[in-house]
Amino acid sequence: MNKKMKKIFLTGERPTGNLHIGHFFGTIKKRIKIQKKHKNFIIIADNQLNINEKKNKEKNINKLITSYISMGISTKKSCIFIQSKIKELLTLEYFLSNFIDINTIKRNPTIKKNIENKKNISCNDFLYPVSQAADILLFNANSITVGIDQVPILEITNKIVRNVNNFYNKKIFRKCKAILSKNNKIIGTDGVKKMSKSIGNTISFNYTKKKLKKIIFKLKTDNNRKNVFSPGNYKNSLVFNYLKLFQKKKEYNLIKKMYKEGLVSDIKTKKILFKKIWRINKRVRNKRKKINNKFIKYIIHKGNKKAREIAKKRIKFIKKKTAFF
Ligand code: TRP
What pTM did the predictor assign? Answer: 0.93
Helices (H), 47-107: 51-54, 57-71, 88-96, 102-107
- 294, amino acid identity: K
28 within ligand 1 shell (Cβ under 6 A) = no
CA distance 43 to 133: 13
| Ligand 1 midpoint to CA 291 (Å) | 25
Residue 228 has pLDDT above 90, yes or no: no
**pLDDT beyond 90 at 80:** yes
Q: What are phi and psi of 39, to 5 degrees?
A: -70, 130
Evaluate: CB of 12 within 6 angstroms of ligand 1.
yes
CB atoms within 10 A of CB 308: 15
Atom of ligand 1 nearest to the CA of 147: 15
Residue of 89, 108, 146 to mutate, ligand 1, most atoms within 8 A of C-beta: 146
**Cα-flanking dihedrals φ and ψ of residue 179, to 5°?**
-100, 105
Q: Is the CB of 201 under 6 A from ligand 1?
A: no
- pLDDT exceeding 90 applies to what percent of the chain? 86
Instruction: Tell me if 195 CB under 6 Å of ligand 1.
Output: no
- Does the Cβ of 13 fall within 6 Å of ligand 1? yes
Neighbours of 105 (CB within 10 A): 20
Q: Mean pLDDT, to the nearest integer, of 30-41? A: 96
Q: How far is the CA of 207 from the centre of ligand 1 (A)?
A: 27
> Using 50, 70 and 90 to split pLDDT, how confident is the model at 73?
very high
pLDDT average, residue stretch 150-156: 94
Backbone angles phi, psi at 10, to 5 degrees: -145, 140
User: Which ligand 1 atom sits nearest the alpha carbon of residue 10?
Assistant: 14
